[in-house]
Structure 1
Amino acid sequence: MEGTNQNACTFVTDPIELQNPTTLQSASPSLSYTSKLAQRYPPGFSRKVFAEVIGTFLLVFVGSGSAGLSAADENTVSKLAASIAGGFIVTVMIYSIGHISGAHMNPAVSLAFATVKHLPWPQVPFYIAAQLTGAISASYTLRELLQPSKHIGATSPAGSHIQALIMEMITTFTMVFISMAVATDVKATGALSGVAVGSSVCIASIVGGPISGGSMNPARTLGPAIASASYKGLWVYFAGPITGALLGAWSYNVIKETDQPGFVISLPSLSINLCQNPSGTEKVGKNDHRCLV
């Protein structure tokens, strides 16, 4: 019977079909690098960076300019008017460039949004560079326009550095907490996001102004500091706003309502013991036993 009922199968496979996709990617490293670069920096990314330059320039020009005029002569611009002007410029810039770049205009805000994954980390350095560029340019412009006055809206602690630090943390926490709510939560009233964030800046500036200057923005402080060569307590306006912004973003993420009602335990043994009720085992979905805590 040898050779008559012998079943033999021979498979001839094309070698190309056995190649690993990673091998193909490694064969064209330039293509892989280009695709990764396109994912990190989409075609419209340069417009976002330029929008941040313009937005931060106008933010510092109006905010620092009104504060400088108030410091030079409060009869011209009162402290309350300066705080309101700072809130108004944030409001109008959110409606102007918010759909393009998100209207961060603040390195602390960009870091906070990146921490909670609402901004890709590779884009953060470009956002911060754009914000600092706009802030420094606006400050030097104010220095030329407001001469001979030396007041260009530079912020410095009115009391101790610790008091100013805590105030900057709390005011920035308030601003970023509200920004996270109206900008990242679809259940919040997004149409009024500019009004909400601008109002929070105005309120925080009124409260924090007499103690810390109500900066809430490292770029807002660094620009006038460089233009006026005044660096008193500069570290406060980096540590305070950044810490407050991170805490504000994290806090809203903790309380943010999601579609999931709770933690899901999908182990069958635990489902039998924990999910049974007087009517039997609760079923969530088809043939799926889960306990929703």
Structure 2
Amino acid sequence: MSANFSRRLAAEALGTSLLLAAVVGSGIMAERLSGGNVALALLANTLATGAALIALILSLGPVSGAHFNPAVTLAAAWQRDLPWREVPGYIVMQALGAFAGVAAAHLMFGEPLFSASTKVRAGVPQLFSEFVATFGLLAVILGCSRRRAESVPYAVAAYIVAAYWFTASTSFANPAVTLARAATDSFAGIRPADAPGFVLAQLIGACCATVLFRWLAPAPPRNEPVRS
């Protein structure tokens, strides 16, 4: 394994870990401080997640591309922006990082290291929400990266902040995040039985967005610079 690839894997693990620490930790803090006001707790959770996304993508994007999401990694490989041979390493490190982030959040707030969530997120509206959330996320990433790559951190964060509120599922939009959030019985959790449906909906949404944007905003030829 090359030193460069090792650095990229470490960046994916670190970024996904800090993202989950932000999502779960802010959810725990928000629930404790909101006095039972779920809307206020969700707003606090949303703002913390969006802010963390901007910081993490800006800091780790130059190293690994800051995917932090198996759906994004698969789309990048499909678009030939990442070799397929590197996909398994990215996804494994994202998953490990996600569970490490949950554990870190639990340790910070004195919770058990892992605890199966009891938060029910089931039904067709929830699954369709995850399809829409992930489709939109990939649309934002693929659309911005083609012409305005420097805007990706802000566009992704803005979309996730919005999608927290306009989707019934509060926009997980990430298979690694979904599986790890099944291990936290907190505000941000999802019942383990509901996680597979979320992951499937996310992958279908990512696939549909990638197919569309291969036509809507195709990558320029490798020897042709991107023009604004």
Verify: 1:246 aligned to 2:207, yes or no. Answer: yes
TM-score, normalising length: structure 2:
0.83
Query: In structure 2, what is the equivalent of residue 168 of structure 1?
Result: 130
The one-letter code sitting in structure 1 at the alignment partner of 2:77 is A
Of the three residues 162, 165, 170, the one matched with 1:213 is: 170
Decide whether the 8 Å contact of 2:127 with 2:201 is kept in 1: yes
Is 1:201 aligned to 2:201, yes or no?
no
- Confirm whether residue 52 of structure 1 aligns to residue 15 of structure 2: no
SS of aligned partner of 2:194:
coil
CA 1:151/1:191 → structure 2, altered by over 3 Å: closer, same or farther?
same
SS class of match (2:110): coil
**Deviations 1:80-127 (CA, angstroms, capped at 9, x unpaired):** 121121122111111101111000001111112212222111101100
1:171–1:153 Cα change, 3 Å = farther
Q: Does 1:192 align with 2:148?
A: no
Contact 2:12–2:67 under 8 Å retained in 1: yes
- Pair 203,84 (structure 1): closer, same or farther in 2 beyond 3 Å: same
Instruction: Tell me if 1:101 matches 2:64.
Output: yes
Q: Deviations over 1:47-99 (max 9, x none)?
A: 00000011000100001221233344424962112112112211111110111
2-structure distance, mates of 1:151, 1:72: 19
* Helix, strand or coil at the partner of 1:118: coil
Alpha-carbon distance change, 175 to 248 in structure 1, aligned in 2, over 3 angstroms: same
Gaps of 5+ in 1: 1-40, 261-293
Counterpart residue type for residue 143 of structure 2? A
Report the counterpart of residue 112 of structure 1 in structure 2.
75
2:7 and 2:26 mapped to 1: Cα distance? 28
TM (normalized to structure 1)? 0.66
Contact 2:58-2:153 at 8 Å conserved across structures: yes
Whose helix fraction is larger, Structure 1's or Structure 2's? Answer: 2
State how far apart, in whole Å, the 1-side matches of 2:109 and 2:163 are: 26
State percent identity of aligned pairs.
Answer: 26
- Give unmatched runs, 5+ long, in structure 2: 222-228
The answer to whether the aligner puts 1:66 opposite 2:26 as a matched pair is yes
Write out aligned runs for 1:22-171 (5 A).
Answer: 43-75=3-35, 78-147=41-110, 156-158=119-121, 160-171=122-133
Does the C-alpha gap of structure 1 residues 100 and 178 become closer, same or farther in structure 2, counting only changes over 3 Å? same
Whether the aligned pair in 1 keeps the contact of 2:164 and 2:170 (CA below 8 Å) is yes
